[in-house]
Structure 1
Amino acid sequence: MGNRHVPGKALKAYPEKLPVVVFVYGGGYVFGSKDSLQPELPFYDGTGLISQSDNNMIFVAMNYRVGAFGFLAGTTMENEGIPNTGLWDQRAAFQWVKDYISLVGGDPTRVTAMGQSAGGGSIMHHIIGQGGKLDPLFSKAILLSPAFEYMWDRGGTVQKTFEAFARLAGCESQGVPCLRRADTSILANANTQLMKQQCSGTFAVGPTPDGSYIRQLPVLELSTGNFWDIESLILSHTTAEPNVFVNGLVQTDSDFKSFVDAIFPNYTQAAGITDKIIAFYAVSGQSKYKSQTDRVQAVLRDSSFTCNIRHLTESFGDSEVWNLQYGVSPGWHGTDLFPIFSSKLGGKSWLENLAARVTPGIGSLTSGTSIALQSYLTSYILTGDPNTNRKIFNLPPTVKWNHPSSQGEQILGVVNLGNWGFSTVRDGQTEKTACDFWKDVAAAVTGLGGYSPPDAVVQQRLVDVQDSSVNYNGGNR
């Protein structure tokens, strides 16, 4: 299933069962594993967090299927297989923790799900599983840069992706039974070729509405109250989430249109949805998008990353979340993993040694940043509040982390971790106007396809829809 890091006290019949954190790794839903970056980078190793908690928690890291092995969907998979098997793998790991973690001193009633990028996006999908009626098997969650690409056209684009994979695997028109008989090396090569066909900045597969486990896009379930109301969440994003996914090839308006069209199926183009996206992110006049690269980054940031933070904040309510922005230079997607998974060895952390070599004189500050950030997270895991055990007397010192205020255009009261420490800021990357626009887009494309669950149709202002549920069914049968 995965790795379990258990402190000695839990194995020595310690009288109090310890809280558990279960980590879900990222990788765009197409690559990665719980130890894929080791030993070069000790990511997903819980020893740093366990040490910061004074050995008062258990850390579990799981594996799950990725790429076409884990996220093929569409009507054929709904009828002949199981869509979103990667999510089911993750659920099996959470179920294992619930059933057996007590055998090694863990408390199955105090499980915190923690995930970064695709891992955070996966947790978001578990929260809305079966329209919020399926217990996700955790009571709290830490979502770091929760990310996923909109995939909803079950009988169209998503089905065509399945057919493309089947064709690459030598199973054209032969369905799931043929794929199950195919040699794994052939499937692996087909998976690689499928990913290579994608437009830069997009992915072939990922969590996909299937009418059953995932009824529709998460923002639509959240906005209609169809989610499991876990106790609380920590929600975080970096300041430059999309930069590593944008290669600068989009140079003209025509290039930008081709990029948007690559994400959205033909019926949304015909209805004018793509034109509205292009207009919303216009490069002209007083627009804040001064280049085509700015536009692409903004589209990816809002649709795939930061608006997930606002949607969750608004749905759960300000009093149940804490918001964080990670802005240590360069602020790229995934760079927050360095301080979160730093662990001390021989009196110095590998992170401190790295920082001292790269920029002499700031090693201690970098190590202190890791200690402070870990203290927030472990305090939350242990007590449900990131402030209870935070390191106040530290370099840099922590600040009191209050709940946010999400009523305005920008979310207020967000803790920012910058190059020189912590502060409280207003978040300019989760603006209400942009996130409401993407909620409208999600509702419009789902309704136009007829994929809306009849009991959870979200109204939108972009297009007229005759029957939002005409093609909806109960998924895998």
Structure 2
Amino acid sequence: MRCNTVLAAVGLLVAAATTNAAKSCKPPTVVLNAGTVIGTRQNGVEYFNGIPYAQAPTGALRLKPPVRLESFASPGVIQATGVGPACPQMPAVDLTPLLLEVLFTLPGAQDTLTFGSAVPGTETEDCLTVSVMRPKGTRADAKLPVLFWIFGGGFEAGSPQMYNGSVLIPESVSQGKPMIIVEVNYRLGAFGFLGGKQVLADGAANLGLLDQRMGLEWVADNIAAFGGDPDAVTIWGESAGSISVFDQLALYDGNNTYKGKPLLRGAIMNSGSITPTEPVDGVRAQDVFDTVVAAAGCASAADSAKLECLRGVDYDTFYAASNSVPSYLSYTSLAFSYAPRLDGRVLTASPEVLAETGKYAAVPIIIGNQENEGTLFALFQSNITTEAELVSYLQTVFFRNATTSEVAGLVATYPPNPASPAGVGASESIYPEFKRLAAILGDWEFAFMSRLLLETFPATVPAWSYQATYASGTPIVGTYHSTDMPRLFYEKDAVSTAIQDLYISFVHSLDPNNDKAPSSGGYLTFRWPTWQEKKQLLELGVESTSLIDDDARAASFEYIRAHLERLRL
């Protein structure tokens, strides 16, 4: 019975029943040191959306590290009952008529291109919030494990709004492994990841990562009031969110302690880990800074005053300037305009160096990729018809510090029409160098970086790795980047159920094999071994799973690994 129906009939009920009805209709409420949070309840889940964890990063605080919010504005109550805000977004897709024809005829493509985007009218610069979801009736002393979600979107777009993480909660409850989910908003584009020598000098680099870190600190300070266990936090992300997960492990050379305790105990990385990058004051980041400054009308200011000029322009001007550079779904593709970059303090070195030198918090992890990670990002370069043009594109757009012969050497490790991306027919190239570019991008950004991280991982810390092939055979793109998102958040089939079971088990016990739920329906019938045992991946197929060796394109892997210092973004 709905609450309004109960209250309408309250005059007909006995006093005891009236009291029970009133209790069931009272919105969930949590009292924090900063004030009171009022949420909503639906389908067995209690939601608290859009709780601020930092002061509004506006005015003088624009392009500054986040400042902790100590108390809510008067009257000290947050109505966390809506969808919550989204940070300013960049337009995510640059679609030509050809791409429109290709993408919007593919199953799930429209969902993939809109996942994580903001609900219209909710974008605001004052966006540093977290959303909390918990099982209905969770007591403050429940000490439930916590799953901390970091959304993806190329560091340019995304929000917690479009990811229905709450679907994991009823499933976790049914398995006797209830959990709490926290989703964090962090600044994007120029608001959160602007580079340049002026940014470095001002201490304003990697602001989006600092936002995420403050969100984790908020969990440490406050999640116990929601019934969560601050000592049992697993961080999870996809794409840019997954890259952010590794960065959170590597921040401050792996120091993830806060008030003397670790902020997390486990990590899950979907499609992203290490992204080799040049410094925050390098040529690429400086080009972006100069473009944004010019677009904002601040180019005439002295170098030392350019950031203050950006802080002083109105929101619409700065927003337009932030969007004056290419998006990650465009011709420049994964050569991100905005990305975390080494600054000597937050990130002390390029991520692959931090991995190879062990300067990250080694906690149990699940890490994996889609089989065809690069196909989505190779749809925008139809003018690349020869090997020479491919070499030129990669050197000009991606690997500016490499020589022509070094880039040509990389391309030579891939055949002209490679079997990889697997699951994509040999004739399904929308331009002559499509499949080779797709293979290189997918390997360089995703598959090989996962393998490199796993190669550095301590033998004593368990790591599980997978490769998804459940969309194998999809025309042109195969099991493309982000095809896991519908399966994790919206679809319900044997594949999605099995993955959810593995993740729930991992969050609960740091072992995906611990008491697997029978709901997977026989899709996964064997123990998932750690990667360290035989360097194998769990292949998530269409109807069943298997184990495969993690040695695909070994010559290309070794070439990239040997030349990473020259192949940074």
TM-score (norm 1): 0.79
Offset of residue 9 of structure 1: 4.1
State whether residues 23 and 60 of structure 1, in contact with CA within 8 Å, keep that contact through their aligned partners in structure 2.
Answer: yes
**In structure 2, do the counterparts of structure 1 residues 383 and 218 end up closer, same or farther at CA, with 3 Å as the change threshold?**
same
Q: Secondary structure at the match of 2:479?
A: coil
CA distance in 2, matches of 1:406, 1:428: 14
Offset of residue 265 of structure 1: 5.8
- Residues 147-156 or 24-33, more deviating: 147-156
**In the alignment, what sits opposite 1:420?**
543
**In the alignment, what sits opposite 1:463?**
none
**In the alignment, what sits opposite 2:326?**
195
**In the alignment, what sits opposite 1:117?**
239
2:539 corresponds to which letter in structure 1?
Answer: N
**In structure 2, do the counterparts of structure 1 residues 18 and 134 end up closer, same or farther at CA, with 3 Å as the change threshold?**
closer
Offset of residue 170 of structure 1: 1.1
Offset of residue 424 of structure 1: 1.9
**In the alignment, what sits opposite 1:356?**
none
Q: Secondary structure at the match of 1:102?
A: helix
Aligned match for 2:169, one of 44, 50, 54: 50
State whether residues 73 and 210 of structure 1, in contact with CA within 8 Å, keep that contact through their aligned partners in structure 2.
Answer: no
Residue 182 of structure 2 is aligned to residue 60 of structure 1: yes
State whether residues 236 and 323 of structure 1, in contact with CA within 8 Å, keep that contact through their aligned partners in structure 2.
Answer: yes
Offset of residue 53 of structure 1: 1.2
Greater relative contact order (CA < 8 Å, ≥ 6 in sequence): 1
CA distance in 2, matches of 1:58, 1:111: 9
Offset of residue 2 of structure 1: 1.9
Deviations 1:354-404 (A, max 9, x none): xxxxxxxxxxxxx23222211111000001111113134642432311112
**In the alignment, what sits opposite 1:28?**
154
1:332 corresponds to which letter in structure 2?
Answer: Y
CA distance in 1, matches of 2:402, 2:134: 50
**In structure 2, do the counterparts of structure 1 residues 237 and 288 end up closer, same or farther at CA, with 3 Å as the change threshold?**
closer
1:243 corresponds to which letter in structure 2?
Answer: T
Offset of residue 74 of structure 1: 2.5
State whether residues 200 and 246 of structure 1, in contact with CA within 8 Å, keep that contact through their aligned partners in structure 2.
Answer: no
**In the alignment, what sits opposite 2:191?**
69
1:419-458 aligned at under 5 Å gives the runs 419-427=542-550, 429=552, 431-444=553-566
CA distance in 2, matches of 1:394, 1:282: 39
State whether residues 146 and 229 of structure 2, in contact with CA within 8 Å, keep that contact through their aligned partners in structure 1.
Answer: yes
**In the alignment, what sits opposite 1:159?**
286
Offset of residue 116 of structure 1: 0.4
**In the alignment, what sits opposite 1:371?**
497
Residue 455 of structure 2 is aligned to residue 323 of structure 1: no
**In the alignment, what sits opposite 1:274?**
407
Residue 366 of structure 2 is aligned to residue 234 of structure 1: yes
CA distance in 1, matches of 2:399, 2:344: 19
Offset of residue 264 of structure 1: 4.2
State whether residues 148 and 207 of structure 1, in contact with CA within 8 Å, keep that contact through their aligned partners in structure 2.
Answer: no
Offset of residue 196 of structure 1: 5.6
CA distance in 2, matches of 1:269, 1:397: 47
Which runs of no fewer than 5 residues in structure 2 stay unpaired? 1-128, 427-431, 472-477
Residue 501 of structure 2 is aligned to residue 382 of structure 1: no
Offset of residue 213 of structure 1: 0.8
1:214-229 aligned at under 5 Å gives the runs 214-229=347-362
CA distance in 1, matches of 2:396, 2:522: 44
**In the alignment, what sits opposite 2:295?**
168
Report the number of matched residues: 408
Calculate percent identity across the aligned residue pairs: 27
1:245 corresponds to which letter in structure 2?
Answer: F
CA distance in 2, matches of 1:190, 1:151: 23
**In the alignment, what sits opposite 1:364?**
none
Offset of residue 29 of structure 1: 0.9
Deviations 1:218-265 (A, max 9, x none): 1111111211222x0001111111111111512112321232123346
**In the alignment, what sits opposite 2:378?**
246
- Which has the higher Rg, Structure 1 or Structure 2? 2
CA distance in 2, matches of 1:325, 1:90: 27
**In structure 2, do the counterparts of structure 1 residues 294 and 439 end up closer, same or farther at CA, with 3 Å as the change threshold?**
same
**In structure 2, do the counterparts of structure 1 residues 178 and 340 end up closer, same or farther at CA, with 3 Å as the change threshold?**
same
Residue 412 of structure 2 is aligned to residue 258 of structure 1: no
Offset of residue 120 of structure 1: 0.5
Offset of residue 312 of structure 1: 2.0
Q: Secondary structure at the match of 1:100?
A: helix
CA distance in 1, matches of 2:247, 2:433: 31
CA distance in 1, matches of 2:411, 2:327: 25
State whether residues 71 and 206 of structure 1, in contact with CA within 8 Å, keep that contact through their aligned partners in structure 2.
Answer: yes
Residue 473 of structure 2 is aligned to residue 341 of structure 1: no
**In the alignment, what sits opposite 1:299?**
440
CA distance in 1, matches of 2:255, 2:530: 27
Residue 186 of structure 2 is aligned to residue 186 of structure 1: no
CA distance in 1, matches of 2:437, 2:143: 48
**In structure 2, do the counterparts of structure 1 residues 269 and 396 end up closer, same or farther at CA, with 3 Å as the change threshold?**
same
CA distance in 2, matches of 1:422, 1:274: 36
State whether residues 372 and 479 of structure 2, in contact with CA within 8 Å, keep that contact through their aligned partners in structure 1.
Answer: yes
- Residues 46-55 or 89-98, more deviating: 46-55
State whether residues 498 and 519 of structure 2, in contact with CA within 8 Å, keep that contact through their aligned partners in structure 1.
Answer: no
Offset of residue 23 of structure 1: 0.2
**In structure 2, do the counterparts of structure 1 residues 167 and 149 end up closer, same or farther at CA, with 3 Å as the change threshold?**
farther
State whether residues 560 and 567 of structure 2, in contact with CA within 8 Å, keep that contact through their aligned partners in structure 1.
Answer: no
**In structure 2, do the counterparts of structure 1 residues 13 and 86 end up closer, same or farther at CA, with 3 Å as the change threshold?**
closer
State whether residues 497 and 519 of structure 2, in contact with CA within 8 Å, keep that contact through their aligned partners in structure 1.
Answer: no
Offset of residue 276 of structure 1: 3.2
Deviations 1:83-134 (A, max 9, x none): 1111111111111001110111111110000000100001111111122234
| Root-mean-square deviation (Å) | 2.6
- Residues 23-32 or 124-133, more deviating: 124-133
CA distance in 2, matches of 1:196, 1:316: 33
**In the alignment, what sits opposite 1:104?**
226
**In the alignment, what sits opposite 1:130?**
252
TM-score (norm 2): 0.67
CA distance in 2, matches of 1:287, 1:19: 42
1:141-152 aligned at under 5 Å gives the runs 141-146=267-272, 150-152=276-278
Q: Secondary structure at the match of 1:323?
A: strand
Offset of residue 13 of structure 1: 3.9
**In structure 2, do the counterparts of structure 1 residues 265 and 401 end up closer, same or farther at CA, with 3 Å as the change threshold?**
closer
